[in-house]
Amino acid sequence: MSGPIRVVVADDQQVMREGLVALLGLVDGIDVVGDAGDGEEAVRATADRHPDVVLMDLRMPGVDGVAATERIGRDHPGVAVLVLTTYDDDDSIAAALRAGACGYLTKDTGRDGIEAAVRAAAAGQSAFAPGVSRRLAAAMAGREEPGEPDPAQEPPDGLTRREAEVIGLIARGLSNAEIGRTLFIAESTVKTHVNNAFAKTGLRNRTEAAAYAHRNGLDR
């Protein structure tokens, strides 16, 4: 894609909307070209501003995010709609994906995660918050979502929870770039976690890391 990624932000909460506009305005290669306070305004801004990505809240007055996503997909099929919402229940996720959303983030996603997801959406890729990815994987496997890890159980060898998570994803065969997209963090941050984890555990390569993850139950 030549030129900056053009983004429209749609959220009925003014403080949240203005915060997202300000946040994305600081990111190189992203240009916020419009904002909207409800679904109707989002559809209109899409027609007027020709964005590459619409960052869409779901529950808004009047025309909600699901209906707006359907209309944008129908009338502007080249525009990617990326949901950013408070809700991560199964019904909300399913409704957004049926409407044509390319990804689903929750509002506890950090700046790096939002930036990575917007770039992925603009490149025609899907982007999901980790909790949403687990729900989708569970649904595809035809089983209930597994419980969250016991917060009282600390990772081995002094690893932080994020370092342990990265080792687990290495065991699943993911590259640093893929881990970054999965966790919504920068690839450089992934490399830092890998280096720190290897130093703490004495691991020398990704093959040893996969075996370590399996022994310690980090590859679940």
Q: Are residues 132 and 201 in the same domain?
A: no
Residue 149 lies in a domain: no
Total number of domains constituting the chain: 2
pLDDT at res. 218: 87
Give the pLDDT confidence score for residue 93 in this predicted structure.
Answer: 87
Is residue 185 located within the same domain as residue 115?
no
Do strands 127-128 and 5-10 pair parallel, antiparallel, or not at all (unpaired)? unpaired
CATH number at residue 164: 1.10.10.10
User: Of 105, 138, 171, which residue constitutes the final position of a domain?
Assistant: 138
Whole-angstrom Cα distance, residue 184 to residue 107?
A: 13
As a residue count, the chain comes to 220
Give the pair of three-digit tokens for residue 168: 């687990």
Structure confidence at residue 147 (pLDDT) = 43
Give the domain range for residue 179: 156-215
pLDDT at 217: 84
Residue 118 and residue 127: Cα distance in Å, rounded? 8
* Cβ pair 51, 33 in contact under 8 A: yes
User: Quick one: pLDDT at residue 137?
Assistant: 58
Listed residues 138, 170, 190: the one ending a domain: 138
Query: What is the pLDDT tens value at each position of the chain, 220 positions in all?
Result: 568 999 999 999 999 999 999 999 999 999 999 999 999 999 999 999 999 999 999 999 999 999 999 999 999 989 999 999 998 787 888 888 889 998 899 988 888 889 999 998 998 888 888 777 666 656 555 544 444 444 456 889 999 988 998 998 888 888 888 888 888 788 888 899 999 999 999 998 888 888 888 888 887 6
CB atoms closer than 10 angstroms to residue 3: 8
Q: Are residues 211 and 120 in the same domain?
A: no
Write down the pLDDT at residue 19.
Answer: 95
Last residue of a domain, one of 104, 138, 172: 138
Residue 178, domain member (yes or no) = yes
Q: What is the CATH number of the domain that holds 58?
A: 3.40.50.2300
For residue 27, being part of any structural domain is answered with yes
Amino acid 60: pLDDT: 93
